[in-house]
């Protein structure tokens, strides 16, 4: 199922047939080092990635809102270049996170920013959220730059999520008043 699309990208559900392409992303140290809590390790094999995708597919199916971690494919070619997420933050009070995971072979082409904008459009439109957060490891300069390009406000550091000290960013829906109601 397609969740949203942009000029160059389609955010869609993962399938187990994506295991090799997903391994090309999550099997790389330069991606895994920025994801989740310790220990942050790359996927060990295509088969391990397939099992991880089965878990992601099951988790995505449990969300009542259109939340999830979705595959990002290039419009036209269908090549899988990364992933985008819109998910409740673990241990949070209902806060929702936007994030992106790109294959390093596709870094520097604006896909993370484009995917982030698409996910924010879904968050503010279909989901009706008033704000969305991003949490980024302090030395992840690329993702910090994406947060800034998206117009997110840096709120400082937090240790509230994933058992790590992270930079916290927020963006609010400009069409809503601070209390959450529409203008």
Pinpoint the alpha helices (H) of the chain.
19-26, 29-32, 46-62, 111-124, 141-149
Q: What is the pLDDT of residue 10?
A: 98
Whole-angstrom distance, CA of residue 138 vs CA of residue 144:
8
Average the pLDDT over 120-135 and give the result: 96
- As a whole-number percent, the residues of the chain with pLDDT over 70 amount to 93
pLDDT category of residue 140 using cuts at 50, 70 and 90: very high
Does the bond joining 102 to the residue before it have cis omega, within 30 degrees of 0?
Answer: no
Whole-angstrom distance, CA of residue 158 vs CA of residue 166:
5
Whole-angstrom distance, CA of residue 82 vs CA of residue 101:
5
pLDDT category of residue 128 using cuts at 50, 70 and 90: very high
Q: What is the pLDDT of residue 41?
A: 87
SS3 assignment, position 82:
strand
Q: What is the pLDDT of residue 182?
A: 52
Q: What is the pLDDT of residue 183?
A: 42
Among the residue ranges 18-22, 89-93, 141-145, the one predicted with the least confidence is 89-93
Residue whose tokens read 């959450």: 180
HSE, CB side, 13 Å, CA atoms: give it for residue 65. Answer: 18
Residue 151 has pLDDT above 50, yes or no: yes
Q: What is the pLDDT of residue 141?
A: 96
Q: What is the pLDDT of residue 92?
A: 67
Q: Does the global pTM surpass 0.85?
A: yes
SS3 assignment, position 102:
strand
Picking from 142, 44, 157, 159, the residue whose alpha carbon sits closest to that of residue 102 is: 142
Average the pLDDT over 117-125 and give the result: 96
Residue whose tokens read 């927020």: 170
Among the residue ranges 52-61, 67-76, 91-100, 135-144, the one predicted with the least confidence is 91-100
Whole-angstrom distance, CA of residue 150 vs CA of residue 136:
14
Residue 122 has pLDDT above 80, yes or no: yes
Domains of the chain: 2-172 (3.40.630.30)
């Amino acid at each position: 199922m397609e969740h949203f699309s942009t000029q160059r990208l389609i955010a869609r559900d993962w399938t187990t047939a994506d295991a090799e392409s997903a391994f090309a992303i999550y099997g790389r140290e330069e991606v895994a080092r920025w994801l989740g809590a310790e220990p942050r390790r790359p996927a060990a094999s295509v088969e391990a990635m397939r099992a991880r995708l089965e878990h992601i597919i099951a988790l995505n199916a449990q969300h009542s809102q259109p939340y999830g971690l979705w595959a990002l494919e290039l419009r036209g070619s269908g090549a899988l270049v990364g992933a985008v997420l819109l998910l409740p933050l673990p241990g949070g009070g209902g806060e929702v996170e936007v994030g992106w995971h790109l294959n390093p072979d596709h870094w520097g082409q604006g896909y993370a920013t484009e995917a982030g904008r698409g996910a924010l459009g879904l968050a503010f439109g279909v989901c009706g959220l008033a704000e969305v957060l991003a949490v980024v490891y302090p030395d992840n300069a690329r993702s910090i730059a994406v947060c800034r390009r998206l117009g997110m406000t840096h709120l400082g550091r937090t240790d509230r999520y994933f058992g790590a000290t992270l930079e916290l960013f927020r963006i609010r829906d400009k069409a809503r008043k601070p209390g959450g109601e529409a203008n």
